[in-house]
Chains A and B, each alone.
Chain A
């Protein structure tokens, strides 16, 4: 049995619509946030959980962390049912919400940590050792006496991570941890997560919109859309499935070359020449190149791979999300 077992998880929300004119009561609408999601995660895995806004990512994380009670379906994390055995369960987990703070706003962060020590009943010795280790790994030594409100976004995220890991959780939920961070902070954060995962075998579940997070961290990615799981596997496999279009940028000596393109190739004129989008599966690259060569003297030619964000956008579109 895996560490996390989720079976046929369902959750509906009732949303009240705006009251229509002439009607006394507002109409209600049911939103199926989760329509039967199943998956399992082994201990020590780093899993990326992606999907467009409103796909049900946060709902899943909230159920797994014991905040919400599902309508039906079974969930076990380390043998515990999160919403039924909440207090025992949450001792083993750490949660970082990218957009809301868990620490206290106006006091130095070390005071927040001292209070967390009380909340989690961490023994003094363990606490000191762990704090020292995390301060070093997250470069927080100089910020310890600074109130949270005076920290930059990147510093704050590091402080939040430290707070969520003080009690050595087995499982860490991260909800958009790199949102709004600069490149240096993002890389530092990813390096830290990799280190923590390797050092302690901490299982990490990460929701994000940043595909680089997934590419850098996660051996496995799950795609969620309309409350259903659409993909579960390795990132390269996911990309291969949707990475169907290639772009060629080409420049000719002549101003207006006469290119006879077969159907299915998109043609776009830009300042740097012509951009052609084609599907290698339908039109082999070699064939396209020979067509181009016949059309005139090529002065420049670049093949561009699709970037990951665009791919994901294309995937969401194809899956009708």
Chain B
């Protein structure tokens, strides 16, 4: 409880400090809108040209796109400490100041960063979800709502877990970030389309290594009444939990890595 309170207070303070530079904040937020709007445009053009992709209709594609956008940018909004700021926390020695305070390091990392500019990206994602839902004619019920919430929450944990790989590398001051980006940003770009449009190696990558297919595509397909690979209902509830698994495993590795933290000179 206390940790949550600390998080809310910290993020509140960071938001206020972002707003210290209002014009810069507005410009960047609009830039984000243009960027994510452009991504959305690609899907719209694709749907306009081809009507459908394999057995997925245009509305289905918007739904998948929206699910990824909402999950990914929610994560960046609230988990900026991990998804963006962590390497610089190591470099500038902010991690040292976390270590001399009586709170969990990961808690403080989360409390140390937010990216409110992503609000427009999240809005685009929500719009895509609504559009996809209407065009696909989804008949909503309590199960589907629960599955959608679970899917988004677990996808956020998965994305955090994947970004933590980068964080762990930066504790050892290793700069192999590009490799990690292939599954984080690469995962975002690839998995905004349903997994079964891809050839086997990519399907394997995003099912086993970075299981976006399990946290997003299995539940989303079920919500769209087109179960992925014809899997039964319970899979839509169970497979997203893989996001929590990835996050937990990476949290353990993160704490293990901290024991080898070397700090920077002063």
B9/A67 in contact, CB under 8 A:
no
| B54, CB-defined interface residue at 8 Å | no
Q: What 0/1 pattern do residues 212 to 256 of B give for CB contact below 8 A with A?
A: 000000000000000000000000000000000000000000000
| A223, CB-defined interface residue at 8 Å | no
| B49, CB-defined interface residue at 8 Å | no
Whole-angstrom CA separation of A68 from B16 in the bound complex: 33
| A91, CB-defined interface residue at 8 Å | yes
B99/A66 in contact, CB under 8 A:
yes
A67/B13 in contact, CB under 8 A:
no
Whole-angstrom CA separation of A58 from B92 in the bound complex: 15
Q: What 0/1 pattern do residues 169 to 194 of A give for CB contact below 8 A with B?
A: 00000011000000000000000000
A104/B93 in contact, CB under 8 A:
no
Chain B positions 1-56 with a Cβ under 8 Å from a chain A Cβ: 2, 5-6, 9-10, 13-14, 16-17, 20
Kindly list chain A residues whose C-beta atoms are within 8 Å of the C-beta of B108: 119
Number of CB contacts from chain A to chain B under 8 A:
78
Whole-angstrom CA separation of A83 from B262 in the bound complex: 13
| A97-B13 contact given A68-B261, A121-B2, CB 8 Å threshold | no
A58/B266 in contact, CB under 8 A:
yes
Q: What 0/1 pattern do residues 108 to 124 of A give for CB contact below 8 A with B?
A: 00010011001111000
- Which residue of chain B is the closest to A11 with respect to CB atoms? B262
Whole-angstrom CA separation of A83 from B259 in the bound complex: 9
Distance from B223 Cβ to chain A, minimum over Cβ atoms (Å) = 39
| A87, CB-defined interface residue at 8 Å | yes
Whole-angstrom CA separation of A66 from B105 in the bound complex: 12
Kindly list chain A residues whose C-beta atoms are within 8 Å of the C-beta of B9: 114-115, 118
Whole-angstrom CA separation of A163 from B92 in the bound complex: 19
A67/B263 in contact, CB under 8 A:
yes
Kindly list chain A residues whose C-beta atoms are within 8 Å of the C-beta of B100: 65-67, 90, 93, 95
Whole-angstrom CA separation of A82 from B96 in the bound complex: 14
Main secondary structure, interface of A, reads: mixed
Distance from B140 Cβ to chain A, minimum over Cβ atoms (Å) = 40
A119/B102 in contact, CB under 8 A:
yes
User: How many residues does chain A have at the interface if contact means C-beta atoms less than 8 Å apart?
Assistant: 35
A102/B102 in contact, CB under 8 A:
no
| A43, CB-defined interface residue at 8 Å | no
Kindly list chain A residues whose C-beta atoms are within 8 Å of the C-beta of B99: 65-67, 86, 90
Whole-angstrom CA separation of A176 from B266 in the bound complex: 10
Distance from B264 Cβ to chain A, minimum over Cβ atoms (Å) = 9
Whole-angstrom CA separation of A62 from B99 in the bound complex: 10
B101/A90 in contact, CB under 8 A:
yes
- Which residue of chain B is the closest to A61 with respect to CB atoms? B266
Chain A positions 95-139 with a Cβ under 8 Å from a chain B Cβ: 95, 97-100, 102, 104-107, 111, 114-115, 118-121
| A115-B103 contact given A13-B262, A99-B266, A100-B96, CB 8 Å threshold | no
| A119-B6 contact given A97-B266, A104-B13, A111-B13, CB 8 Å threshold | yes
- Which residue of chain B is the closest to A120 with respect to CB atoms? B102
User: How many residues does chain B have at the interface if contact means C-beta atoms less than 8 Å apart?
Assistant: 29
Kindly list chain B residues whose C-beta atoms are within 8 Å of the C-beta of A99: 266
B263/A115 in contact, CB under 8 A:
no
| A295, CB-defined interface residue at 8 Å | no
- Which residue of chain A is the closest to B8 with respect to CB atoms? A118
| A147, CB-defined interface residue at 8 Å | yes
Whole-angstrom CA separation of A58 from B265 in the bound complex: 8
Whole-angstrom CA separation of A13 from B265 in the bound complex: 12
A105/B17 in contact, CB under 8 A:
yes
Residue B17 contacts which of A13, A83, A98, A104 (CB distance < 8 angstroms)? A104
Kindly list chain B residues whose C-beta atoms are within 8 Å of the C-beta of A105: 17
Residue A67 contacts which of B17, B20, B96 (CB distance < 8 angstroms)? B96
Distance from B172 Cβ to chain A, minimum over Cβ atoms (Å) = 11
Kindly list chain A residues whose C-beta atoms are within 8 Å of the C-beta of B262: 13, 68
| A102-B97 contact given A67-B261, A67-B263, A107-B16, CB 8 Å threshold | yes
Q: What 0/1 pattern do residues 113 to 144 of B give for CB contact below 8 A with A?
A: 00000000000000000000000000000000
Kindly list chain B residues whose C-beta atoms are within 8 Å of the C-beta of A107: 13, 16-17, 20
Whole-angstrom CA separation of A115 from B108 in the bound complex: 12
Whole-angstrom CA separation of A118 from B262 in the bound complex: 28
Q: A13-B262, A104-B13, A106-B17 are in contact. List 6 more A-B contacts (CB 8 A).
A: A67-B263, A87-B102, A87-B103, A88-B102, A111-B13, A121-B2
Interface residues of A (CB under 8 A from B): 13, 58, 62, 65-69, 83, 86-88, 90-91, 93, 95, 97-100, 102, 104-107, 111, 114-115, 118-121, 147, 175-176
User: Can you report 11 A-B residue pairs in the complex whose CB atoms are below 8 A from each other?
Assistant: A68-B262, A69-B259, A83-B259, A97-B93, A100-B92, A100-B93, A100-B266, A107-B13, A115-B9, A118-B6, A119-B6
